[in-house]
């Protein structure tokens, strides 16, 4: 059976390996430049020559940066080109009739085919993620944004979970629809929908976020690469303040809520500290920041990977039950 | 033949129409909100209540904004799901043998199928582009970035040409490879490669860019949504200054090239003393850019390039298919 899987998929495996090798070469070459650039800037900054570059440093070439962001889409490729045809192409060509008549049982045929495909998906997701994580580490250290949606999704262990899910989705769609093209379309659409729903709505609820309420004059920034969920200003009664568009603001508070003494702060030559009457009025207001702390990054990666592994396992179960019950 | 095309594709046609309708509803609802928000902010700004919000205003919802950016990938879907299977699926199933034995000539079979598909691709591209262009209108007015790589590519007329090209690429790959899945992979890779090469390397050369030199102490901003290609500061001898050197910088010039009077450590407004101003006067800033009024010229050139590529691919496919033994 393993020999059969190799003969059926060797072209795909070789193309996949060639793509990974080309990607690795590009990432390693540009990644070396990036980390040298970053360390030089860091040394200059520490030596007191000015940290100007650290804020605005663009790391690496734009083209490779674009490619790295485009790895958001790589997990679905295994679902499309390896997962969806796994059963559907054989069903379309009628070769399942032949395959299921052999001495190898249908259960074993399915297990070996899916097993190798899942292993390939793990390698595909793992290699790409390892390269991207390494390439982005100076950028993450500088911009502290690895927890943000879109960055979280291409580093760490979640790409492996996404790849496994994509393959499982493709295999299931193919097994249920028994036609390759509709299965491909369903895989593509299903993957995007599930990923977007989880990223935009579910992920922020994995753990209760932390809300910090602080004085508007002092400011507050959590440590490290935290994930900001909401921020704003609370009025004296503790309610979030409306943010009208048609008024100037000072420290996040519309001028209309503040005494006239504060208006100099938005004038042409603002003093360093607000006048006493203004400072007193400001002390009644509090700012809030709701966020996920940076040290939850790996917990979130683990939870998200777990969710996608459970989804993948469920889909494989559905496929197995469907195929084993179906008449050949 | 037209009836045959309709029967073969009516399911896909309804699916696509439903998708486009859903997208249109989403865009229309959030687009009206964004436009209202923008006009309210603009009116407040004009009335002198502060323009703070104009810079930081995020228009529309995050999710729809994400959807709008992802229309970068919409053209290739046509190539994958309509283009690649057009000939390849029939070859795989053996139905070309049957189709090419009818009273309808192979040339006519090909012309009608490809013609309808090209029309569908053009409609797909233009409906999406029209919605996106309208939705992004306030954002473009606010951020003046319609010419930037990635924004240029989802608005105006280029998405129509991308869709037509993707379809032609899919048909050609399918006709040459005669197998659907390899044709789809080739279509996806080829589309990304051609788009990437043209967007990142070729597009900036459609017309010679404009370079403006200016004093480093005054800044220079061209009107409208111009496209910045390079900018920097030149030494008195005309050599560009390496912007990746570390150290303090005054008006883009590293302070170690300037007299000591330029070395200020306090933050905030700094008025350089006369000896410093005089030294700075020897340096010049430069900005190389494509002016905003070339936007539609660039759209036209890029559309033309992709239409020529599409026509060439269709011609190759036609020659291949008409010469092939059934």
- Chain A residues with beta carbon closer than 8 angstroms to that of B89: 181
Please say if the pLDDT value at position A236 is more than 60: yes
**Which candidate in A8, A33, A181, A191 is best for mutational testing of the B interface (most B CBs within 10 A)?**
A181
If you average pLDDT over residues A293-303, what whole number do you get?
95
Whether residues B246 and A85 touch (CB distance < 8 A) is answered with: no
For CA atoms A273, A275, A278, A280, the dihedral sign is positive
If you average pLDDT over residues B258-284, what whole number do you get?
72
- Chain A residues with beta carbon closer than 8 angstroms to that of B49: 245-248
- Chain B residues with beta carbon closer than 8 angstroms to that of A80: 184
Please say if the pLDDT value at position A239 is more than 80: no
- Chain B residues with beta carbon closer than 8 angstroms to that of A76: none
CB-based contact, A112 to chain B, within 8 Å = no
If you average pLDDT over residues B48-77, what whole number do you get?
72
Please say if the pLDDT value at position B165 is more than 50: yes
pLDDT tens digit string along B90-109? 888 888 777 777 888 888 88
If you average pLDDT over residues A138-143, what whole number do you get?
81
Q: Which residue has the higher pLDDT, B244 or A327?
A: A327
Which residues, at least 6 apart from A37, have a Cβ–Cβ distance to it below 8 Å? A57, A59, A138, B244
pLDDT the model gives residue A10 = 86
Among A295-299, B84-88, B241-245, the least confident range: B241-245
Q: How far are the Cα atoms of A33, B48, B80 from residue A26, in angstroms, in the given order?
A: 11, 52, 27
CA B311 to the chain's CA centroid: 21
CB-based contact, A14 to chain B, within 8 Å = no
CB-based contact, A18 to chain B, within 8 Å = no
pLDDT the model gives residue A53 = 47
Query: Sorting pLDDT into bands at 50, 70 and 90, what band is B161?
Result: very high
pLDDT the model gives residue A74 = 93
**How far A233 CA sits from the closest chain B CA (Å)?**
16
- Does residue B168 contact residue B80 with C-beta atoms inside 8 Å? no
Reading the block at residue B251, the tokens are 């008006």
pLDDT the model gives residue B315 = 95
If you average pLDDT over residues B299-310, what whole number do you get?
97
**Which candidate in B181, B200, B201, B227 is best for mutational testing of the A interface (most A CBs within 10 A)?**
B181
Measured between CA atoms, the residue of chain A closest to residue B199 is A63
Residue that has been written with the tokens 């053209």 in this structure: B75
Average pLDDT, chain B: 85
Which residues, at least 6 apart from A162, have a Cβ–Cβ distance to it below 8 Å? A75, A76, A125, A153, A191, A195, A308
Which of B14, B34, B16, B36 shows the shortest CA–CA distance to B26?
B34
pLDDT tens digit string along A300-316? 999 999 999 999 999 99
Helix (H) or strand (E) run with residue B28 in it: helix B2-46
- Does residue B125 contact residue B161 with C-beta atoms inside 8 Å? yes
- Chain B residues with beta carbon closer than 8 angstroms to that of A52: 246-249
Q: What distance in Å separates the CA atoms of residue A273 and residue A116, rounded to the nearest whole number?
A: 66
> pTM, whole model, 2 decimals?
0.85
The percent of residues in chain B predicted with pLDDT above 90, rounded, is: 44
CB-based contact, B40 to chain A, within 8 Å = yes
Whether residues A246 and B49 touch (CB distance < 8 A) is answered with: yes
Query: Sorting pLDDT into bands at 50, 70 and 90, what band is A247?
Result: low
Whether residues B200 and A63 touch (CB distance < 8 A) is answered with: yes
Which of A168, A163, A175 shows the shortest CA–CA distance to A75?
A163
Query: Sorting pLDDT into bands at 50, 70 and 90, what band is B244?
Result: low
Reading the block at residue A284, the tokens are 């009644």
Q: What distance in Å separates the CA atoms of residue A292 and residue A306, rounded to the nearest whole number?
A: 19
Q: How far are the Cα atoms of A79, A228, B26 from residue A155, in angstroms, in the given order?
A: 19, 18, 31
**Which candidate in B43, B246, B247, B262 is best for mutational testing of the A interface (most A CBs within 10 A)?**
B246
CA A275 to the chain's CA centroid: 46
pLDDT the model gives residue B266 = 47
Q: What distance in Å separates the CA atoms of residue A87 and residue A162, rounded to the nearest whole number?
A: 20
pLDDT tens digit string along A186-208? 999 999 999 999 998 899 999 99
pLDDT tens digit string along B28-45? 988 888 888 777 777 766
- Chain B residues with beta carbon closer than 8 angstroms to that of A50: 246-249
Q: What distance in Å separates the CA atoms of residue A150 and residue A240, rounded to the nearest whole number?
A: 28
Please say if the pLDDT value at position A17 is more than 70: yes
pLDDT the model gives residue A268 = 63
Whether residues B40 and A245 touch (CB distance < 8 A) is answered with: yes
The percent of residues in chain A predicted with pLDDT above 70, rounded, is: 90
Which of A154, A147, A12 shows the shortest CA–CA distance to A79?
A12
Whether residues B47 and A246 touch (CB distance < 8 A) is answered with: yes
Whether residues B85 and A181 touch (CB distance < 8 A) is answered with: yes
Helix (H) or strand (E) run with residue B215 in it: strand B210-215
The alpha helices in chain A, defined as continuous H runs, are: 2-46, 52-56, 62-70, 74-78, 84-93, 95-99, 106-143, 158-177, 180-197, 276-282, 297-325
Query: Sorting pLDDT into bands at 50, 70 and 90, what band is A293?
Result: very high
The 3-class secondary structure across B251-290, one letter per residue, is: CCEEHHHCCHHHCCCCCCCCCCCHHHHHHHCCCEEEEEEE
pLDDT the model gives residue A48 = 58
Q: What distance in Å separates the CA atoms of residue B107 and residue B319, rounded to the nearest whole number?
A: 10
Whether residues B200 and A89 touch (CB distance < 8 A) is answered with: no
If you average pLDDT over residues A138-166, what whole number do you get?
91
Whether residues B184 and A52 touch (CB distance < 8 A) is answered with: no
If you average pLDDT over residues A149-162, what whole number do you get?
94
- Does residue A291 contact residue A204 with C-beta atoms inside 8 Å? no
pLDDT tens digit string along B191-211? 999 999 999 889 999 999 999
Tell me how many residue pairs between chain A and chain B have CB atoms under 8 A apart.
69
If you average pLDDT over residues A240-258, what whole number do you get?
70
Q: Which residue has the higher pLDDT, B93 or B18?
A: B18
Please say if the pLDDT value at position A55 is more than 60: no
Whether residues A245 and B63 touch (CB distance < 8 A) is answered with: no
**Phi/psi at A4 (5° precision):** -65, -45
Select from A62, A85, A247 the Cβ nearest to the Cβ of B181. Answer: A85
- Chain B residues with beta carbon closer than 8 angstroms to that of A44: 246-247
- Does residue A102 contact residue A191 with C-beta atoms inside 8 Å? no
If you average pLDDT over residues B223-250, what whole number do you get?
79
The percent of residues in chain B predicted with pLDDT above 70, rounded, is: 89
Listing from the earlier edge strand, what are the strands of the sheet with A210-215?
A210-215, A286-292, A227-234
Which residues, at least 6 apart from A165, have a Cβ–Cβ distance to it below 8 Å? A75, A79, A191, A194, A308, A309, A311, A312, A315
If you average pLDDT over residues A68-72, what whole number do you get?
89
Query: Sorting pLDDT into bands at 50, 70 and 90, what band is A266?
Result: low
Helix (H) or strand (E) run with residue B232 in it: strand B227-234
Reading the block at residue B187, the tokens are 């279509």
If you average pLDDT over residues A47-62, what whole number do you get?
55
């Amino acid at each position: 059976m393993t020999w059969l899987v190799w003969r059926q998929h060797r072209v795909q495996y070789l193309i996949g390996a060639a793509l990974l090798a080309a990607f690795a070469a590009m990432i390693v070459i540009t990644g070396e430049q990036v980390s040298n650039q970053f360390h030089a800037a860091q040394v200059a900054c520490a030596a007191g020559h000015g940290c100007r570059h650290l804020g605005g440093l663009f790391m690496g070439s734009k083209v490779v940066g674009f490619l790295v962001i485009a790895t958001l889409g790589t997990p679905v490729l295994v679902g499309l080109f390896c997962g969806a045809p796994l059963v559907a192409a054989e069903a379309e060509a009628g070769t399942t009739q032949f395959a299921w008549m052999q001495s190898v049982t249908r259960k074993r045929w399915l297990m070996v085919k899916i097993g190798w495909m899942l292993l390939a998906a793990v390698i595909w997701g793992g290699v790409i993620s390892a390269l991207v994580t390494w390439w982005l580490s100076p950028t993450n250290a500088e911009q502290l944004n690895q927890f943000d949606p879109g960055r979280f999704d291409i580093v760490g262990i979640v790409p492996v979970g996404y790849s496994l899910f994509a393959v499982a989705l493709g295999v299931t769609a193919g097994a249920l629809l028994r036609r390759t093209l509709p299965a491909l379309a369903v895989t593509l659409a299903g993957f995007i929908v599930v990923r977007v729903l989880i990223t935009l709505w579910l992920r922020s609820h994995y753990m209760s976020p932390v809300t910090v309420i602080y004085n508007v004059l002092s400011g507050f920034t959590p440590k490290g690469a935290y994930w900001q969920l909401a921020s704003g200003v609370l009025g004296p009664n503790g309610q979030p303040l409306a943010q009208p568009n048609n008024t100037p603001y000072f420290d996040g508070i519309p001028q209309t809520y503040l005494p006239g003494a504060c208006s100099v702060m938005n004038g042409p030559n603002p003093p360093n500290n607000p006048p006493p009457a203004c400072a007193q009025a400001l002390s009644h207001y509090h700012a809030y920041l709701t966020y996920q702390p940076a040290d939850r990054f790996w917990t979130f990666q683990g939870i998200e990977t777990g969710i996608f592994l459970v989804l993948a396992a469920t889909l494989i179960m559905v496929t197995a039950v469907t195929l084993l019950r179906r008449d050949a | 033949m037209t009836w045959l095309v309709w029967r073969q594709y009516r399911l896909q046609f309804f699916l696509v129409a439903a998708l486009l309708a859903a997208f249109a509803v989403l865009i229309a609802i959030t687009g009206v909100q964004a436009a209202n928000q923008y006009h309210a902010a603009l009116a407040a700004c004009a009335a002198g209540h502060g323009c703070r919000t104009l810079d930081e205003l995020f228009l529309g919802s995050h999710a729809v904004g994400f959807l709008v950016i992802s229309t970068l990938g919409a053209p290739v879907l046509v190539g994958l799901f309509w283009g690649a299977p057009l000939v390849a699926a029939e070859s795989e199933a053996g139905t070309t043998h049957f189709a090419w034995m009818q009273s309808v000539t192979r040339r006519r079979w090909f012309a009608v199928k490809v013609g309808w598909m090209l029309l569908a691709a053009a409609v797909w591209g233009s409906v999406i582009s029209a919605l996106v262009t309208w939705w992004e209108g306030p954002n473009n007015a606010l951020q003046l970035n319609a010419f930037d790589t990635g924004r240029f590519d989802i608005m105006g007329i280029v998405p129509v040409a991308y869709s037509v090209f993707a379809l032609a690429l899919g048909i050609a790959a399918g006709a040459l490879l005669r197998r659907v899945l390899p044709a789809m992979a080739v279509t996806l890779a080829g589309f990304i490669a051609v788009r990437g090469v043209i967007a990142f390397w070729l597009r900036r050369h459609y017309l010679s860019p404009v370079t403006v030199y200016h004093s480093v102490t005054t800044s220079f901003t061209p009107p409208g949504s111009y496209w910045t290609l390079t900018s920097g500061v030149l030494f008195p001898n005309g050599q560009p200054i390496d912007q990746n050197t570390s150290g303090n910088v005054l008006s883009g010039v590293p302070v170690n090239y300037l007299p000591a009077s330029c070395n200020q450590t306090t933050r905030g407004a700094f008025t350089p003393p006369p000896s410093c101003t005089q030294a700075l006067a020897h340096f010049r800033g430069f900005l190389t850019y494509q002016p905003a009024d070339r936007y539609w010229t660039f759209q036209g050139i890029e559309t033309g390039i992709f239409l020529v590529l599409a026509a060439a691919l269709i011609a190759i496919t036609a020659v291949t298919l008409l010469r092939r033994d059934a």
